[in-house]
Structure 1
Amino acid sequence: MDGNGRWAKARGKPTIAGHRAGAETARRITERAAQLGVKYLTLYTFSSENWLRQKSWVDDLMGLIRWYLKNELKSLLKNGVRLRVIGQRDLLPPDIQTLIEQAEKQTEDNSTITVILALSYGSRQELTQAAKSIAHKIAEGTLHADDVTPEIVEQHLYTAGIPDPDLLIRTSGELRLSNYLLWQMAYTEFVFSQTLWPDFTTDEFDQALETYHRRQRRYGL
């Protein structure tokens, strides 16, 4: 969901205003995805690298995440949205970790759409953690090195039990993955938009899905 900061700067507003506008876009796109029967929607909300940004910026974004988790729960329950969070949770403020656990627990039976927030997420960190977990099991003797398969690796990722993405949409004209779901996107289709995320519309979302459906997926074959 790229372009929040540039959107705010172009309007002479503080960066957090762009993130607030981006949160509204996320709500609209989530509602549209549910209407169209999309079952899983993953939103790259806060990356591992974002911790290196200015503290005031991080604090503002943590405040917005905190507000979302407190105030959107009723809406999630009403609309059948299951919430899941992937990433290094232990780096998040303790109260946000608690709010995440509560929201996941209360929405776990919802089945209209699963919304996955990638928070404090980095794919290299995810793969490193998976490798450590597998190495520990091998050292303990509960897993043999020859038994390690792609399926075993997937079971140790943050996304265990979640299907690999069919489609990646990246906004604001950026043409890179930025350490996002590198394992999971082995055969994902990409659509890049010049639109800044706060201005991204449901019509553009529909167009991205139409583009995806026109493609012939070969899965490397």
Structure 2
Amino acid sequence: MTHKAILFDLDGTLVDTAPDLAAATDYALTQAGRPAIGLESVRSMVGDGARALIEKGFRASGGMPDPAAFEAAFNDFMIYYGRHIAETSRPFPGVATCLAALAEQGYALAVCTNKPEALSRSLLDQLGLSGFFGAVVGGDSLLVRKPDPGHIRGTLDKLGTEFAWAAMVGDSANDVNAAKAAGLPCVVVSFGYTQIPAKDLGGDRLIDHFSELPEALVALGG
């Protein structure tokens, strides 16, 4: 029986999704008559889910529209992004090798992301990563999402067994705060999308490459 679990954020942690998210956001905004905001702006907006991303895009391009226009833009985003979700998105260096090594060592692996579950599964499928994970729990899978610790607990429940130890791996304050509230240590990656410097997020360990993750987990008791 597996007694240790590792939960991973998706965008900015496992996969560099910002280019495809930016393309979809700019498409939705320009369809609504707004200017495109570009990759660097979108990169700093990722992490709170798709609806929040479009809301931030509108606020950055002139303010919120009326509800009907917002819903139309959100639908445009979802359709476009669903069709182009893995055009340029790629796993960060070392991800597949690290996941394979952790699975070989007996860790149960799961994705805990604020990205909608269907989009998360589609992305993981297209990048060949789905087979590593016993559960994929998106921002719309439960009644709560990060930073609520219920998202962490719900993901562990989806793995289907009890664990003596678990940890979160992420790139944002949402990940760190959810993990801490759930009583889990959190490893922060330095290459994600956080607006706050990664070293200042309050994680228990900071890594610059996925090759460093196994050692960080052992240092935390994993």
Scaled by the length of structure 1, what TM-score is found?
0.35
Whose helix fraction is larger, Structure 1's or Structure 2's?
A: 1
Scaled by the length of structure 2, what TM-score is found?
0.35
| Structure ID, larger Rg | 1
